[in-house]
Amino acid sequence: MDFGLSDEQQAVVDLARHILSDRTTPDRLRELEAGTDWVDRDLWAELAKADLLGLCLPEAHAGGGYGFLEACLLLEAQGRAVAPLPLLGTLVGSLAVAAHGTEALATRVLPGVAAGTTVLTVAITEPFGDPRAPRAVRATAAADGWTLSGTKTMVPLAHVADLMLVTAATDDGAAVFAVDLSASGLTLERQDTFNHEPTFVVTFDEVSVPADDVLGAPGDGAVDRLTDMATVGLCAITSGVSESALRITAEYTTTRKQFEKPIGSFQAVGQRMADAYVDNEAIRLTMLSAASRIADGIPAAREVAIAKFWAADGGNRVTHAALHVHGGISIDLEYPIHRYFHWAKHMELQFGGASIQLERLGDLIAAG
């Protein structure tokens, strides 16, 4: 499979890199990390001004007409810059609304996403169990829609989101519900994470959801698609994080000297960096494989599991190697390499770590 980018896709990557690299200086990142909000709202506005937030949405809803693969390229650019933005939930959530939502919901939500005024998050992680078979939140049919009760955990950046896509169990199968964050009956409890990205335990106490705010019908595959897109989007961010960690470390090996020689000339360091390069390529290529199949509407269950395995396992190795090769300076919070390790560690176990992905892949292979 050819994973070369078209001229249009490369232009998107170049524009995103330019905007993100200009705004995510070490001083700016430290300033944001010291605050409680974490999100760079000015940078978010810049992405909206450049028409990148709506790039992947249908043209009928003020979008650029691209799709999920281009969304992953944007998320990879975010990872390279370790930019604190609600990009994953907004891109994945808006694509799910475009694909499965009612026309009324899409008309209400998508133009605001493109303009940068509407932020989305996804609530698919539960305290226990498979995100594709939600049990911790249950939806009960009501006269004018649905009522949700239960708990989700690790909901990213809910404090800045306007709309949350929630997976829940119904009598007829799992479904995705669009919940306004201002809805009565919602309770948010903040959690701390490795990279200090705010995530939340969200409790639903008979939260009402209108009938128009259900994405498709229960059991029609919307839950699997949302979960797969969120998982591969996370892999795309990991790909960018891993690439930047590798690049920074490679540059360090050419300037850091020991015994009057660059440490990169030492065989042990060279071998460690070569292994990290292989891991980094595996993360990126398996992510692109899964993203391409999802974008083309081709079944991708195996590819998603493979991509998440490499993101978890390979991302862990690359960023550990980055710390080890840097030595003592890696623990200096004024030096940037620690940030990439924290991001990779934060994403490693989300939506299932390496062992869980191997178990899932084994089940998929056994099932034929």
pLDDT tens for each residue of 129-166? 789 999 999 999 998 999 999 999 999 999 999 999 99
pLDDT at 194: 87
Architecture of the domain whose range is 7-119? Orthogonal Bundle (1.10)
- The pLDDT, as a whole number, for residue 153 is 96
> What does pTM read for this prediction?
0.97
- DSSP for residue 221: S
Widest CA span in the chain? 77
pLDDT one-digit tens code per residue, 294-350: 999 999 999 999 999 999 999 999 999 999 999 999 988 889 999 999 999 999 999
* Residue 129: predicted pLDDT: 79
Instruction: Report pLDDT for 1.
Output: 66
Report the alpha-carbon distance of residue 267 to residue 344 in Å, rounded.
Answer: 26
Identical topology for domains 122-215 and 222-366: no
Distance between CA atoms of 90 and 281, rounded to whole angstroms? 27
- C-alpha 141/C-alpha 173 separation (Å) is 12
Label the pairing between strands 163-170 and 120-123. parallel
Beta carbons of 71 and 95 less than 8 angstroms apart? yes
CATH number 2.40.110.10 given to 122-215 = yes
| Residues with pLDDT less than 70, the chain | 1
- 3-state secondary structure (DSSP) of residue 218: coil
SS (H, E, C) 38-75: CCCHHHHHHHHHCCCCCCCCCHHHCCCCCCHHHHHHHH
Task: Please state the domain extents for the chain.
Answer: 7-119, 122-215, 222-366
The CATH superfamily of 222-366 is Butyryl-CoA Dehydrogenase, subunit A, domain 3 (1.20.140.10)
Distance CA(14)–CA(28), nearest Å, equals 21
